[in-house]
Amino acid sequence: METFLQVARSLSRKGIAVHVATSEDGLH
């Protein structure tokens, strides 16, 4: 889960919009 935490931090810096877009395509 370390990778997920690192990605989450990166997304937090970039913005929630990026996180949402990644969630739809990445988490599915």
23 is in which domain, residue-wise? 1-27
- 1-28 in b/e form (b: 16+ CB < 10 A) is eeeeeeeeeebeeeeeeeeeeeeeeeee
How many separate domains does the chain show?
1
What is the pLDDT, as a whole number, of residue 4?
A: 85
Using the predicted structure, report yes or no on whether residue 28 has a pLDDT greater than 60: no
Q: Each residue of 6-25: pLDDT tens digit?
A: 888 887 777 766 657 666 66
Q: Which residue has the higher pLDDT, 26 or 5?
A: 5
In this structure, which amino acid lies at residue 19?
H
6, 14 contact by CB (below 8 A)? no
Q: Which residue has the higher pLDDT, 2 or 18?
A: 2
What is the pLDDT, as a whole number, of residue 18?
A: 65
